[in-house]
Amino acid sequence: MNSIQVDESGGPSVLSTAARPDPERGPDDFLVDVAAAGVNFADLAKRRGAYPGGPKPPYTPGIEVAGRVAEADAEADFAVGDRVMAYVRRGGYAERVTADPGRTFRVPDALSLVEAAAVPIQWLTAHNALLEWGGLAGDDRVLVLAGAGGVGSAAVQLADSAGAAVLATASTAEKRAFARSLGADRAIAYADVDLADAVEAHTGGAGVDLVLDGVGGGAFEASLNVLAPGGRVVTYGVASGEVPSVSTTRLLFENRSVVGYHLGEAADREPARVFGAMADVRERIAAGAVEIHVDRTFPLAAAADAHRYVADRRTTGAVVLETR
């Protein structure tokens, strides 16, 4: 089968096409014919060698896929030919991958396999960060940093459908219009205005109750400045490459909190809490309450171009590799 391999840590050029044998599935696992694989910031960080605990080259990247079951045990919940989407530990940038049944889900009828490839990581992350870890309430004021990206666009829709007041940051007029179309009440040009001033003006000085931060760096620092007493920041990524820190005195006197969320660690330790969210995600998709937005697709052999596109922060929604 064809696959993408990271031969050494570095820029997008270290991604190469390689032919290798089909993976061998373990007991209870599925073998999936991959139709599409999602491209995530975590894939880029791992490729650069900048992801804590990330894989060592050579390896095949990719952690979310959609396709059809190619092999399964007779007593399995899925049969050969079923449309599935899965969170895999690695190996998704390939024509075939093995998948754990506990991390594999049926594709809603409303979705294509390309759209489904954007669901397992990005929508679980958004749902978990907002609800299971963030404790979202319907009357909360929520700030989503990078609200036009894959996780951000999912979070804006989920928060809006829960009844929250949603603010989002985005870098361009196109992205801000996109965030508003998804349900954001206000989209903030963070590079052109002071975030604290914009949030204060929109909330009448009250601030926000919940911030979702996958950016880190200065964005994280700014989010603390707009947090209401009793508010919380859920940090789930460091797309900027700048790791922030926080003084506890900024938290304790107004009962603010910072909550860390990492899908991989949480999935290993609390799988029911993490993957239980998928039922709600699938129901919302089936009901038409939310939409999966794929900004652009690339053929598998153009994985390096897909990484460049994501790194340039040009995305509105998800980026997906088509393997066939």
Task: Give me the CATH number covering residue 155.
Answer: 3.40.50.720
Is 277 inside a domain boundary? no
SS3 269: helix
The residue among 249, 265, 281 that closes a domain is 265
Model confidence over 148-177: pLDDT tens digits? Answer: 999 999 999 999 999 999 999 999 999 999
Do 136 and 252 belong together in one domain? yes
Do 106 and 143 belong together in one domain? no
Do 127 and 255 belong together in one domain? yes
Is 164 inside a domain boundary? yes
Residue numbers of the domain that contains 233: 123-265
pLDDT score recorded for residue 246: 87
Do 69 and 104 belong together in one domain? yes
Do 308 and 225 belong together in one domain? no
Do 94 and 168 belong together in one domain? no
Task: Give me the CATH number covering residue 14.
Answer: 3.90.180.10
Q: Within 10 Å of residue 273's Cβ, how many Cβ atoms?
A: 13
Is 271 inside a domain boundary? no
Q: Within 10 Å of residue 149's Cβ, how many Cβ atoms?
A: 30
Is 287 inside a domain boundary? no
pLDDT score recorded for residue 242: 83
Task: Give CA–CA dist 129/32, Å, rounded.
Answer: 28
How many domains does the chain contain in total?
2
Structure tokens at 76: 């399995």
Task: Give CA–CA dist 111/25, Å, rounded.
Answer: 26
Do 135 and 57 belong together in one domain? no
Do 143 and 258 belong together in one domain? yes
* Tens of pLDDT, residue by residue, the chain (324 residues): 999 999 999 999 999 999 999 999 988 899 999 999 999 999 999 999 999 999 999 999 999 999 999 999 988 899 999 999 999 999 999 999 999 999 999 999 999 999 999 999 999 999 999 999 999 999 999 999 999 999 999 999 999 999 999 999 999 999 999 999 999 999 999 888 889 899 999 999 999 999 999 998 888 988 999 999 999 999 998 878 788 888 888 899 999 999 999 999 999 999 999 999 999 999 999 999 999 999 999 999 999 999 999 999 889 999 999 998
pLDDT score recorded for residue 65: 98
Is 272 inside a domain boundary? no
Do 258 and 142 belong together in one domain? yes
Q: What angle do CA 120, 144, 283 make, to 5 degrees?
A: 40
Do 101 and 156 belong together in one domain? no
pLDDT score recorded for residue 316: 94
Model confidence over 69-93: pLDDT tens digits? Answer: 999 998 889 999 999 999 999 999 9
Which amino acid type is present at position 26? Answer: G
The residue among 221, 249, 265 that closes a domain is 265
Is 278 inside a domain boundary? no
Is 280 inside a domain boundary? no
The residue among 265, 284, 300 that closes a domain is 265
- Residues whose CB is less than 8 angstroms from the CB of residue 179 and which lie 6 or more positions away in sequence, other chains included: 144, 147, 148, 152, 153, 156, 168, 170, 187
pLDDT score recorded for residue 258: 96
Is 199 inside a domain boundary? yes
Do 112 and 128 belong together in one domain? no
Do 259 and 175 belong together in one domain? yes
Task: Give CA–CA dist 120/91, Å, rounded.
Answer: 15
